[in-house]
């Protein structure tokens, strides 16, 4: 078990956004956390990654209690994440965006950098090699010299994934990876997710697009901040509560 959440609760004034929520993520899985817009999915992500602090509950990651940690501490513990709106360096190339993220784990000190030592040069070569490997993994090596602002929407989202991978996470958290994509971009993204998992990565993805289910080993469904269903894809697709609360009563899963 890589991630264990229990009794997680977050209140914003009189609004309970997350209510006694619990779930687990096992090593090597792709787990989907799904639900309609406003269900509390992103709030849960922000609680895990330390963007906001919970009112109650525990978050155990890789055997350690990280409840209430800062975003920097969460990243240092081995959690990488993307955002619904991908924060890219618009005037950097695709490659430069990933290299910048590799530098979040610096391998050179100030003096090595100042005097351009052999150690610094080796580390520069490492950052470049690592970044190229990541771009190859996520299917962006062909556009590595393009400015990030000029990339199609799907490629920009995938560049966000590449940057998250650059911090060498144990858990990759994807915030609506299919958001705003067309059919071809969705197929591309889901293919890359499976490719990343085959490399040994554990993925937790939140979505309101039900197509994400086709990539998931395990699915958790929330509505109004509470878990309403959990299980494999077929169990979730056929759950009456999910059909009514998420898809709308009478709609087919």
Q: How far is CA 234 from the centre of its chain?
A: 23
Q: Identify the pLDDT of residue 30.
A: 95
Cβ contacts of residue 122 below 8 Å, gap of 6+? none
Share of the chain above pLDDT 90, in %: 65
From the list 131, 121, 119, the residue with the least C-alpha distance to 92 is: 131
- Give domain limits for the chain: 1-78+169-253, 92-168
Q: What is the pLDDT of residue 251?
A: 44
CATH assignment of 1-78+169-253, given 3.40.1550.10, 3.20.20.70, 3.40.50.300, 3.30.360.10?
3.40.50.300
Q: pTM, whole model, 2 decimals?
A: 0.86
Alpha-helix residue ranges (DSSP H) falling in the chain: 41-48, 71-77, 94-102, 110-114, 118-137, 153-166, 183-198, 233-237, 240-242
* Distance between CA atoms of residues 73 and 45, nearest Å: 15
CA separation for the pair 134, 140 (Å, rounded): 9
**Pair of tokens at residue 145:** 């010299």
Is residue 54 within 8 Å of 45, Cβ to Cβ?
no
How many other CB atoms are found less than 10 A from the CB of residue 253? Answer: 14
pLDDT at residue number 100? 87
Report whether 177 contacts 146 (CB < 8 A). Answer: no
pLDDT of residue 101: 82
Structure tokens at 52: 């906001």
User: Taking 70 as the threshold, does the pLDDT of residue 236 lie above it?
Assistant: yes
Do 41 and 35 touch, CB atoms closer than 8 A?
Answer: yes
* Mean pLDDT within 188-197: 92
CA nearest to 187, candidates 164, 163, 154? 154
Tokens of 42: 């992103």
In angstroms and rounded to an integer, the radius of gyration of the C-alpha atoms of the chain is 19
Top mean pLDDT of 44-48, 70-74, 116-120 is at 44-48
Model confidence at 230: pLDDT above 90:
yes
The percent of residues above 70 in pLDDT, for the chain, comes to 88
| Closest C-alpha among 32, 38, 19, 28 to residue 1 | 28
């Amino acid at each position: 078990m890589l991630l264990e959440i229990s009794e997680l609760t977050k209140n914003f004034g009189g609004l309970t956004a997350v209510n006694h929520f619990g779930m687990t993520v096992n090593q090597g899985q792709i787990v989907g956390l799904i639900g309609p817009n406003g269900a509390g999915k992103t709030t849960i992500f922000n609680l895990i990654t330390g963007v906001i602090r919970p009112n109650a509950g525990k978050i155990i990651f890789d055997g350690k209690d990280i409840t209430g940690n800062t975003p920097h501490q969460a990243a240092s513990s081995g959690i990488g994440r993307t955002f619904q709106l991908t924060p890219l360096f618009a005037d950097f190339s695709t490659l430069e965006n990933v290299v910048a993220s590799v530098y979040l784990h610096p391998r050179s000190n100030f003096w090595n950098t100042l005097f351009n030592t052999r150690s610094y040069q080796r580390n520069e070569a490492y950052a470049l090699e690592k970044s190229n490997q990541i771009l190859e993994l996520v299917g962006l090596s062909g556009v590595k010299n393009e400015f990030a602002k000029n990339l199609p929407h799907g490629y920009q989202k995938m560049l966000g994934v590449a940057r998250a991978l650059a911090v060498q996470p144990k858990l990759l958290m994807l915030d609506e990876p299919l958001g705003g994509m067309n059919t071809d971009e969705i197929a591309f993204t889901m293919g890359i997710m499976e490719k990343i998992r085959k490399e040994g990565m554990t993925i937790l993805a939140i979505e309101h697009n039900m197509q994400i289910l086709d990539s998931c080993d395990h699915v958790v469904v929330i509505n109004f901040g509470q878990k309403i269903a959990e299980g494999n894809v077929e169990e979730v697709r056929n759950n009456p509560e999910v059909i009514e609360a998420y898809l709308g009563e009478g709609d087919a899963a």
